[in-house]
Structure 1
Amino acid sequence: MKIKILGCYAATPRTITNPTSQVLEIKNHMFLIDCGEGTQVQLRKHKIKFSRIEHIFISHLHGDHFFGLIGLISTFMLLGREKDLHIYGPKGIKEAILLLLKLGNAYTSYGLYFHELKATASEVVFEDDKVKVSTIPLQHRVYTNGFLFEEKVTERPLNINAILNYDIDKVYYNKIKQGGAITLENGQQIPNDLLTFEPSAPKSYAFCSDTMYSEKIVPLLTNTTVLYHESTFLENEIDLAEKTMHSTAKQAAKIAKLAAVKHLLLGHYSTRYGDIELFKKEAQEIFDNVLLADDGLEFEF
């Protein structure tokens, strides 16, 4: 599981920082999460193939989280894209994007599908045989969702060296991968654990930006491998966090501790701060395993 941070700063783009956007690679999927202004430039800068992006998840309709979307959609069209593109975001995102395309007489040549969200409880928005994606209802100034990406339990890897010790036809390999025992022609039963290895534990990634502090989300995050939680302010400016419905680094750490996540990844920093290490220092007073997002960084788990 890899997380590439394209941008992780709040409010406005600057020459040295970018607004929220990141790429999650999980089980052969490449998901784009939020699409702030400048996202396509960052994708090019970090040599991420546009064609691999088939699903885009937008948390809310504040500009620093989706103003880059129309440009990316248009560039896909100019590049001759043929693959379908699915966009998951708040109700209204379809109207906003299609209006701009209509005014520019620039409809896409590829399938563009909008999955508009309006539920106030968690719901599954994407699922296949490898990954499930659910919403995390957040509390912000406008309707906002985080997203929980969960790997599904994989098949058991075959222990080929062990299998070759027995007269087992290849037609039974799928049964073995799925956990089944094998009975040989002489009646001997071979337990599955002698023929396979333990699969790796499924990993999960929770994206929570933007939101005020709320313990309501904790049950959805319990035991998550990595939690990305916004930390727009430091605790000495908690009044600003409450006024703008954002969180502090200390509050993000409290959520991580309550949910017993393995790693806390901080981001969405206000540009009023010159040193983001202050966020890590504050969070580690509550939760030990803290990582700092920054533009261009990649994390692998």
Structure 2
Amino acid sequence: MKLTVLGCYAATPRTITNPTSQILEIRNHMFLIDCGEGTQVQLRKNKLKFSKINHVFISHLHGDHFYGLVGLISTFMLLNRQTDLHVYGPKGIKEIVLLQLRYSNSFTGYNLYFHELEAKTSEVVYEDEKVVVKTIPLKHRIYTNGFLFQEKVGDRKLDIDAVREYKIDACYYQKIKNGKDITLDDGTVIPNDELTFDPIKPKSYAFCSDTMYDESIVPLIQNADVLYHETTFLETEADKAEKTMHSTAKEAATIALKANVGQLILGHYSTRYANIELFREEATTIFPNTVLADDGKVFEYD
């Protein structure tokens, strides 16, 4: 699992910072999470292949989280994209994007699918044999979702020495990796756990964009390996956080602690702060395993 932060600052883009956008690479998928202005420039800077993005997840319809989307869609068109593109986001996102394309007389040469979200409870929005993606309902000034990305349990790992010892034909290897016992020609049953090792523990990533402090999300992200949680303000501006329905670093750390996550990544900093290290210092008093997102920063998890 690999996370590339393209942008992680609040409100307006600046020459030195970018609004929210991330790439999550997990089980051969490259998911784009939010798409603030400048996303495609950041993709190029970080040498990420546009063609590998087939699914875009938009948390909410504030500009710093999706104003880069129509530009990216148009660039895909100019690159002669043929692969389907799926966009998951709040109801209204289809109308907004298609209106811009219509009035600019721009039409995609690829299939563009919108999956508009309205549910106020968590729901599965994407699933295949390797990954499932669920919404995390958040509390902000407009309808907002975070997203939980979870790997599914993979095949068991073949103990090649054991299968050779029992002279098991290779045609049975997939059956063994699927967890099945094997019966030898003499009728002896070999339990699967004698032929395999446990699969790699599946990983999970919870993305919580703009939201006020909300403990109701804790059960949804419980034991996630990694949590990205917005921290627009420090505790000294807690009144502003409450008024604008954002969170402080202390509040994000409290959510991480209650949810027993493996690691907390902070982001969505207000540009009023010259030193983002202050966010980490505040959060680590509650949740020690806290790190800072920053534009272009990469996090890898084996």
Q: Are positions 1:260 and 2:260 aligned together? A: yes
**Which amino acid in the other structure matches residue 299 of structure 1?**
F
Question: Once the 2 structures are TM-superposed, how far is the Cα of residue 168 of structure 1 from its aligned partner?
Answer: 1.2
1:38 is matched with which residue?
38
1:47 is matched with which residue?
47
Contact 1:130 1:151 (C-alpha < 8 Å) held by counterparts: yes
1:102 is matched with which residue?
102
2:17 is matched with which residue?
17
2:237 is matched with which residue?
237
**Which amino acid in the other structure matches residue 291 of structure 1?**
V
1:89 is matched with which residue?
89
2:215 is matched with which residue?
215
Q: Are positions 1:251 and 2:234 aligned together? A: no
Contact 1:167 1:184 (C-alpha < 8 Å) held by counterparts: no
Whole-Å Cα distance in 1 between the matches of residues 24 and 270 of structure 2?
23
Contact 1:136 1:148 (C-alpha < 8 Å) held by counterparts: yes
SS in 2 for 1:164: helix
Once the two structures are superposed, residues 86-130 of structure 1 have per-residue CA deviations (whole angstroms, 9 ceiling, x without a partner) of 000000000000000000110100000000000100000000000
2:121 is matched with which residue?
121
2:272 is matched with which residue?
272
Q: Which runs of 5+ in 1 are unaligned?
A: none
Q: Are positions 1:65 and 2:53 aligned together? A: no
Once the two structures are superposed, residues 189-247 of structure 1 have per-residue CA deviations (whole angstroms, 9 ceiling, x without a partner) of 22212211211111100000100000010000100000000000000000000011000
Whole-Å Cα distance in 2 between the matches of residues 37 and 94 of structure 1?
18
What count of residue pairs does the alignment treat as equivalent? 301
Equivalent runs, 1:112-151 vs 2, <5 Å: 112-151=112-151
Q: Structure 1: which 4+ aligned runs deviate by more than 6 Å?
A: none
2:296 is matched with which residue?
296
Contact 1:82 1:110 (C-alpha < 8 Å) held by counterparts: yes
Whole-Å Cα distance in 2 between the matches of residues 30 and 291 of structure 1?
23
SS in 2 for 1:137: strand
* Residue range with higher mean Cα deviation, 184-193 or 196-205: 184-193
1:224 is matched with which residue?
224
1:165 is matched with which residue?
165
**Which amino acid in the other structure matches residue 297 of structure 1?**
K
SS in 2 for 1:286: coil
Whole-Å Cα distance in 1 between the matches of residues 169 and 39 of structure 2?
50
Once the two structures are superposed, residues 244-273 of structure 1 have per-residue CA deviations (whole angstroms, 9 ceiling, x without a partner) of 100000000000000000100100000111
Whole-Å Cα distance in 2 between the matches of residues 257 and 113 of structure 1?
37
Whole-Å Cα distance in 2 between the matches of residues 285 and 167 of structure 1?
57
**Which amino acid in the other structure matches residue 119 of structure 1?**
A
SS in 2 for 1:96: helix
Once the two structures are superposed, residues 56-78 of structure 1 have per-residue CA deviations (whole angstroms, 9 ceiling, x without a partner) of 00000000000000000000000
Whole-Å Cα distance in 2 between the matches of residues 40 and 182 of structure 1?
51
Question: Once the 2 structures are TM-superposed, how far is the Cα of residue 175 of structure 1 from its aligned partner?
Answer: 1.4
SS in 1 for 2:197: coil
SS in 1 for 2:126: strand
Supply the RMSD in Å over aligned alpha carbons. 0.7
Q: Which runs of 5+ in 2 are unaligned?
A: none
SS in 2 for 1:148: strand
| TM-score normalised by structure 1 residue count | 0.99
SS in 1 for 2:161: helix
* Residue range with higher mean Cα deviation, 154-163 or 129-138: 154-163
Q: % of aligned pairs identical?
A: 70
SS in 1 for 2:251: helix
**Which amino acid in the other structure matches residue 294 of structure 2?**
D
| TM-score normalised by structure 2 residue count | 0.99
Whole-Å Cα distance in 2 between the matches of residues 286 and 22 of structure 1?
26
